[in-house]
Amino acid sequence: MSEPSLPEPRLPLRIAVLASGRGSNLEALHKAAENGQLPIVIVAVLSDKAESGALSYARNNGIHCVCLQPRDFASREDFDLALMQAATEQRPGLIVCAGYMRIISPAGIAVAPCPMINIHPSLLPKYPGLNTHSRALANGDSEHGASVHLVNNILDGGKVLQQVTVPVLPNDTPESLAERVLNQEHKLLIETVRRITENPQFLQSP
């Protein structure tokens, strides 16, 4: 008897993006969807920063936006519960953290309506946290890169789904290295999301 087939992914995959900054990963993902390269729809951009480039991009492109200000909430948990509630209302099948600069509390992660992935600019498990480019340079690494991983309760510690390697050049500064890594991040994020749309089990596979 043949193996039962895997359930078909529900397409287009509904994605909610969490972002705090410039929003170039959001833009790369959105453009890939608009060009017909990816069977996704970005159903919301949620941010903790009213002035972020990510929110401006979303507004200018007719994407549903939610901005929550941490100062309006009594605790990190209250903020995260409101954030997840706002995400849940858009019925996402995937949450993508793309330059989202707040640590999500275990209470927030527990109520996430779907799997969450994050793009991080290092070859995890190397350099979780901030300043990854200067740390790679300070250590004399010959290679640096980016990772897409599942979000769990450990900072940048969830299962790595895919990585891209970028060579460190002799005269690299944190800025020049960051720029080359960012270019690759965009491709890596698109490629990872494509694999999830093709087979949601990719999120579980070893």
Which residues are identified as catalytic?
120
Alpha carbon distances (Å) from 141 to 69, 183, 191: 38, 19, 25
Which residue is listed with tokens 């999830």? 196
> What is the nearest approach in angstroms of ligand GRF to the Cβ of residue 115?
18
Nearer Cβ to ligand GRF, position 15 or 200?
Answer: 15
Nearer Cβ to ligand GRF, position 92 or 99?
Answer: 99
3 state DSSP class of 84: helix
Taking CB under 6 A as the criterion, the residue among 9, 12, 21, 113 binding ligand GRF is 21
Alpha carbon distances (Å) from 173 to 46, 122, 130, 138, 148: 32, 15, 16, 10, 23
Number of residues that bind ligand GRF (CB under 6 A): 13
Contact call for residue 108 and ligand GRF (CB under 6 A):
no
Q: Which two tokens stand for residue 99?
A: 């330059």
Are the CB atoms for 42 and 15 separated by under 8 Å?
Answer: yes
Strand partners, 44: 16
Contact call for residue 25 and ligand GRF (CB under 6 A):
yes
Contact call for residue 145 and ligand GRF (CB under 6 A):
no
Mask of contacts with ligand GRF, 54-93, x by CB under 6 A? Answer: ----------------------------------------
Interface residues toward ligand GRF, by CB under 6 A = 19, 21-25, 98-99, 119-121, 182, 185
